[in-house]
Amino acid sequence: MKEQTERMIQYAEAALKDAYAEQEIVEEKRTRQILDVFRKHQVSYRHFSPTTGYGYDDVGRDTLEKIYADVFHTEAALMRPHIASGTSALSLTLFGLTRPGDRILSVTGLPYDTLWGIIGIGKETPPGSLKEMGVGFDCVDLKKDGTIDLEAVEAAMTPRTTLVIAQRSRGYAWRPSLMPEAFEPLSDLLHRRYPGVLFMVDNCYGEFVREKEPTDFGADVCVGSLIKNPGGGIAPTGGYIAGSRESVERVAWRLTAPGLGREIGSYAGDYRPWYQGLFMAPHTVCQAVKTALLAARLFEDLGMKTSPSSAERRADIIQAIQMGTPERLVAFCQGIQSASPIDSMALPEPWDMPGYDDRVVMAAGTFVAGASIELSCDGPMREPYTAYMQGGLTYTHGRIALAEALNRMIIAGAL
């Protein structure tokens, strides 16, 4: 059985040589870009030093935020260990950029499940949601070809619409993730026809997969998690918001206090993981993308539907695979977990995970708890029982884990 699995992997790798080479070119270009920014700001050991109290004149924090602004080609950035997750960063941004009576328009369909409670949609609306604060929500779907429907966007705009949001990654939806350049027509439309309306992109899972980011194509704000791509597998927590100076300041007032914003916020630990993680990010992301490509090709060879396919250009690190049955989905996640460096003895089972309407099965044997840039896999227990795999600190580990997952599925009778 192991010999058969190895032959399948070798066959897939031979077919993926060109795709791997293309991703390695992106890795080199983005690494050069980050290296140039580090040189520009003359990063040294003093930038790693901790601070306490109010954190006034925290050179490590302030320089890191300038670096993020330069990497994303924006006027300003907010990068803090205190931001608990990508959802936390998005919540800060949504609350910071709206006021009672405003309306938010999502142009990529319903957002990721964990935002439903923040917005005030879904089965339950928790206290403190945007809806409770008097902020409305509208939504338009992507076209059938996966592109933004500009006509539908215009039809959904109201005089109260002040913030347009888009989700770059697929989330738990069977649709294409969006390339950074896909946002340019919408950015042009909003800036031309609706001055004053802000455009925010949820950039989670997409950073450094391509040569540019949504802010290079007109997005006013980009938001992401540091235990995903930009943390490089080293940052232990945190999130970022990069965008126009006014937008970032408004979000910073939500994080700390109006009038204080980015000027305060100490960190008594070592800033080194965030600097080093960002520097490592293009390489780590490349490893994750190559792992995703391999997964796509392997399961295509087994006759399963994948998105994106192994022949498509990548917009993020997520690989969706329609397993077709709950047994296959659970066996695959259990196989990934068993090949993890942490908690390999654990046996993932579907459970009622906070923030999700369906039970979720999740494999996440990661050094940083829940870090999506490390190899992990999860999926909601609903038809067609799609596995969403992401990450991989090294391609070698991804290769080993996929082999073990396939073997487990065979043993479980799921293949």
Quote the CA–CA distance of 68 and 311 in Å, as a whole number: 32
Quote the CA–CA distance of 128 and 117 in Å, as a whole number: 9
Structure tokens at 287: 């490893």
Asked whether the predicted pLDDT for residue 42 surpasses 80, the reply is yes
Domain ranges of the chain: 2-29+282-411, 50-277
Task: Select 2-29+282-411's CATH number: 3.40.30.10, 3.90.1150.60, 1.10.3720.10, 3.40.50.9100.
Answer: 3.90.1150.60
Q: Encode pLDDT of 71-83 as tens digits.
A: 999 999 999 999 9
- Indicate the pTM of the whole model: 0.96
pLDDT value of residue 1: 67
Q: Are 220 and 97 in contact (CB under 8 A)?
A: no
Exposure string over 78-112, b if 16+ CB within 10 A, otherwise e: bbbbebbbbbbbbbbbbbbbbeeebbbbbbbebbb
Q: Are 334 and 348 in contact (CB under 8 A)?
A: yes
Quote the CA–CA distance of 198 and 163 in Å, as a whole number: 5
Segment 56-79 shows an average pLDDT of: 98
The sheet with strand 198-202 has its strands ordered as 76-80, 239-243, 221-225, 198-202, 161-167, 103-106, 136-139
pLDDT band for 364, please (50, 70, 90 cuts): very high
Tally of residues, the chain: 415
Segment 161-172 shows an average pLDDT of: 93
CATH architecture of the domain 50-277 equals 3-Layer(aba) Sandwich (3.40)
pLDDT value of residue 58: 97
Structure tokens at 302: 């087994």
Asked whether the predicted pLDDT for residue 334 surpasses 90, the reply is yes
* 172 or 321, greater pLDDT: 321
**Using alpha carbons only, what angle is made at residue 387 by residues 285 and 305, rounded to the nearest 5 degrees?**
95
CA diameter of the chain: 64
